[in-house]
Structure 1
């Protein structure tokens, strides 16, 4: 049992011992454990320093020590491990350091828990210890490297779309961190990523639609659309959030079917004797084919059947 009076300097030395050991986790030793005696010693050190000195100024020094310990660990260990890595290696290291960082921060939050229970609630302008641990990492690491994380994640997705094998578990873990690290003020980093992904998908399928129309028959085109929709659905199920799947399928359908409805009709007419059709009226009817759930055809073949029925009625 620690004596009840602990001079500030002596108490800070004791907490430096706790911080030094906890930092081993972020340095690559996640198996680091604290015994029950160590936990009690460090917790009681903070408790007695706060209650004996009875000074908000002294307690604030402990609060700042907690924050500084996280910032120093990020600056000295986390950033050097990430800053020079690229692509998949960057994402892999990102997942590891985030996991280790959270574990380290969890131990420190337990040692400084008295601040959370009695000091911080009296000062509403102060963040909780858990919020500090997230905000430090978000500001010093995530925001600094966010564009590189997105670029690496999109590269993996594009590689898989081109037929290469990727580590889908790694990608799912990275995107889960995007959700986890979003802040309480409404900044959602996964949604930002989702918008960028949908923009890339739109560009990709606009390009391939033009290429397929030029080189493939209508039957081949429809087969490719079916294959793409199935693959995008599988891909989304592997590592994206459920809400994203519907948005991706909607974008694929729009760029491969709805946007080029008239060109598909022209291709059909060219393949079936070149009869003329009032394409403006067909386009008007096709515009009513909503992609919303419950009104869109379940397959490209069904979509095309509706389009053909419209053209037959007009003719």
Structure 2
């Protein structure tokens, strides 16, 4: 008859595996840390502790051990790596740590897999996969989300000014906001709102300068160029509905709210106002604001 594992005995077996799994956050590949035999030993340990008869059935304890392992990995390795980072360096390190954390959480989840098949379903608990995301959200996003959002908006504005090659990073940040929401889009939607607000502010500050220094026709060409650039840029890191909203914001800032001022400028340039205002705006007739967009 197989000897019953006590909680202490099982934890002693699991501790080594948990410690090794955390090394994934230091850059070690899973294949370099575990042999198939070692991995199965850890899985079997959890399995045995789940199927033993009371008082040796430890599903609830193992669930907490898994959760504490995730929390410890974040507080001991993830947060120290992110804590002092700002701007683009924070975004790079966030994606780096999030990518490695997901691998580590999947590795740990493999040890504790039987909990998903038994305890989680019976107790209506959060799945191991969702729990790993919840821990990251609670311990990282709750503290650093404002800094992450600020850094992302700053990077977008930097891209507008110097056409930097960081759009892959912006795509990663956008993906992170979706993944950390576990199917709910609140982080991404907050990101979208911040992008739209900063875009409106960015162009609101440019309009007076452009009206002062450019002819009405050149202003229209400038607006058309900006819309084209915004579409190309945003399409690389925003979902299509967000791209359409952004283009509408840019159009409104550059051509909607300035319509009367452009009209006045055109009349001043033409002297007798012989050219109709509609002709000044003809350069905008073919602008593509994205499928499904509406200027109404």
Structure 2-normalised TM-score? 0.88
Determine the C-alpha separation between the residues in 2 that align with 1:39 and 1:256: 60
2:223 to 198, 222, 225: 225
1:75 aligns with 2:75: yes
C-alpha RMSD over aligned residues: 2.4
Q: Deviation per CA, 1:16-43: give whole Å up to 9, x if none.
A: 1110110110123235442221221111
Gaps in structure 2 of 5+ consecutive residues: 289-296
Partner of residue 38, structure 2? 38
Cα deviation for residue 152 of structure 1 reads 1.0
Partner of residue 313, structure 1? none
Partner of residue 12, structure 1? 11
Determine the C-alpha separation between the residues in 2 that align with 1:169 and 1:187: 20
Partner of residue 292, structure 1? none
Determine the C-alpha separation between the residues in 2 that align with 1:34 and 1:243: 44
Partner of residue 204, structure 1? 202
Matched pairs, number? 283
Gaps in structure 1 of 5+ consecutive residues: 287-295, 301-315
Q: Deviation per CA, 1:228-287: give whole Å up to 9, x if none.
A: 01111111122222222111111111111111211111111111114499x9xx9xxx9x
Cα deviation for residue 10 of structure 1 reads 1.0
1:236 to 234, 237, 240: 234
Q: How does 1:1-315 map to 2 (within 5 A)?
A: 3=2, 5-31=4-30, 32-55=32-55, 58-124=58-124, 126-184=125-183, 186-275=184-273, 297-299=285-287
Cα deviation for residue 120 of structure 1 reads 1.6
Contact 1:159 1:166 in 2 (8 A): no
Contact 1:225 1:256 in 2 (8 A): yes
Determine the C-alpha separation between the residues in 2 that align with 1:53 and 1:73: 31
CA spacing shift, 1:4–1:167, aligned 2, 3 Å: farther
Determine the C-alpha separation between the residues in 2 that align with 1:298 and 1:141: 45
Q: Secondary structure at the match of 1:239?
A: coil
Q: Deviation per CA, 1:81-120: give whole Å up to 9, x if none.
A: 1001111111111111101110010011111011110112
Q: Deviation per CA, 1:119-163: give whole Å up to 9, x if none.
A: 121112x21111110000001012211111111111111111112
Q: Deviation per CA, 1:40-72: give whole Å up to 9, x if none.
A: 111111111111143497321111000000001
Contact 2:210 2:219 in 1 (8 A): yes
Structure 1-normalised TM-score? 0.83
Determine the C-alpha separation between the residues in 1 that align with 2:90 and 2:208: 35
Determine the C-alpha separation between the residues in 2 that align with 1:164 and 1:263: 29
